[in-house]
Amino acid sequence: MFPWFGQLKANADVATEQAKAKYEAFEETKSKLFFEVKSAYYDLYFTQKAIDILLENIAILHTFSELSLIKIEAGLSSSVDQLRIDMDLADLENKLALLKDRAWYQTVYFNNLLNVDNSETIYFPDTLPEPDMEFSKQDLLDSIMQNNHRLTKLDYELSAFENKETAVRKLGAPNINIGIDYIFVGKSDNPNLEAGLSGKDAIVFPRIGLTIPIYRKKYKSMVQETVYQQEAVTDRRVAQTNVLESLLEKTYNEYRDANRRLDLFKRQTALARQAMEILQTDFATGKTDFVEILRMENKLLKYALELEKARTDKNAAQAFIRYLMGK
């Protein structure tokens, strides 16, 4: 018995498209893991940079503390300045302890993603690169719509259901029967039987026919089911497209915001350093009090942290967009 023309090909196409959909699901999982590794690395990088910045500021405050004690002994400064330094040092030490705890669990999370031991050394650059996007937002959206693994998976699922519909429709078509029948002929004592036929093994009769399905409602229901499945996949694809477009808008805005903050805090840091140099000179000559130096030092600390946060956010935004693009 042979199925109707095209049914075997339709069944094979269903299996092929389903296999492609599963492969895209695998690629999506792989791309997501790569993004999670990058994101975890950027988080850990920022925490380590924050620790370095705090340690540097703590060292500076200790230097200020020594200068303050000298001025107090010389009667040129109030002991209140020393108390202010001690309070700032206590705050920084507390923040440092918090950051070290955060760095530890971020390290554990990062190493678990890589499936390596926590004793492995993680290396960080002096500073993260600041590459700009190579394409416009519209070009990025077009690339996402074309290459995103979730959308491609849904495309293959839709194609599989379309081929399944074709295969199901052909189930209701006639089946072709081709075969042979034979009759075994033994030796006969009948004197009237021709001598050439007596004792022959078989007489062969070719046979061809059609088997026509009777219960058509079953096949119509199966076809309707595949149509509903196609509609469901189409709706899911539309919803996923809207989600991806919204994610790109949000992430691209975060990328632009990070760029603006990079430019801002580079300028602010440079200005704050100039102001600090002037204040230190004025403090040494008694032209300003210690409060102004502490205020400026706090601003320098804030700007340094914000600058590294902007670098981290820019790289994280780009990594997420590349993930949406299926990379």
Look at residue 9 in the predicted model and tell me its pLDDT.
Answer: 79
Report how many domains make up the chain: 2
The pLDDT profile of the chain, 327 residues, written as one tens digit per residue, is 455 556 677 778 889 999 999 999 999 999 999 999 999 999 999 999 999 999 999 998 898 888 778 777 777 667 888 888 899 999 999 999 999 999 999 999 999 999 999 888 899 999 999 989 889 999 999 999 999 999 999 999 999 999 988 888 777 665 565 666 656 555 555 555 455 555 555 555 566 655 666 666 777 888 899 999 999 999 999 999 999 999 999 999 999 999 999 999 999 999 999 999 998 888 777 777 778 888 899 999 999 999 999 999 999 999 999 999 999
Segment (H or E) for 12 = helix 7-73
Cβ–Cβ under 8 Å, residues 237 and 278: no
- Say if residue 65 is in the same domain as residue 207: no
In a domain, 257, yes or no: yes
- Say if residue 298 is in the same domain as residue 204: no
In a domain, 197, yes or no: yes
- Say if residue 198 is in the same domain as residue 222: no
DSSP 2: B
In a domain, 241, yes or no: yes
- Say if residue 50 is in the same domain as residue 79: yes
In a domain, 233, yes or no: yes
- Say if residue 202 is in the same domain as residue 137: no
In a domain, 104, yes or no: yes
Q: Are strands 175-184 and 202-211 parallel, antiparallel or unpaired?
A: antiparallel
Look at residue 178 in the predicted model and tell me its pLDDT.
Answer: 62
DSSP 132: P
Torsion angle of alpha carbons 251, 111, 125, 300, nearest 10°?
A: 70
Burial of 161 (0-12, 13-18, 19+ CB in 10 A): buried
Look at residue 221 in the predicted model and tell me its pLDDT.
Answer: 82
Other residues' Cβ atoms within 10 Å of the Cβ of residue 183: 10
In a domain, 1, yes or no: no
Q: What is the pLDDT of residues 238-252, one digit of tens each?
A: 999 999 999 999 999
Cβ–Cβ under 8 Å, residues 323 and 35: yes
Residue type, position 190, single letter: N
Burial of 76 (0-12, 13-18, 19+ CB in 10 A): exposed
DSSP 130: -
* E runs forming strands in 185-293: 202-211
- Say if residue 159 is in the same domain as residue 254: yes
Look at residue 41 in the predicted model and tell me its pLDDT.
Answer: 98
- Say if residue 90 is in the same domain as residue 206: no
- Say if residue 125 is in the same domain as residue 261: yes
DSSP 287: S
- Say if residue 128 is in the same domain as residue 163: yes
- Say if residue 51 is in the same domain as residue 191: no
Distance in angstroms (rounded) separating the CA atoms of residues 25 and 58: 49
Domain CATH for 146: 1.20.1600.10
Full residue range of the structural domain in which residue 204 is found: 175-211
- Pick from 39, 250, 241, 34: nearest CA to 144: 241
Distance in angstroms (rounded) separating the CA atoms of residues 146 and 326: 9
Write down the mean pLDDT value for the chain.
86
In a domain, 2, yes or no: no
Look at residue 213 in the predicted model and tell me its pLDDT.
Answer: 65
- Pick from 20, 321, 28, 29: nearest CA to 155: 20
The distance from CA 316 to its chain's CA centroid, rounded to whole angstroms, is 11
- Say if residue 195 is in the same domain as residue 312: no
For the chain, the residue count is 327
Cβ–Cβ under 8 Å, residues 266 and 242: no
Distance in angstroms (rounded) separating the CA atoms of residues 293 and 300: 10
Look at residue 283 in the predicted model and tell me its pLDDT.
Answer: 76
Q: Tokens for 156?
A: 């293959």
Cβ–Cβ under 8 Å, residues 197 and 23: no
- Pick from 176, 44, 62: nearest CA to 114: 44
Cβ–Cβ under 8 Å, residues 184 and 198: no
Other residues' Cβ atoms within 10 Å of the Cβ of residue 60: 15
- Say if residue 182 is in the same domain as residue 168: no
In a domain, 199, yes or no: yes
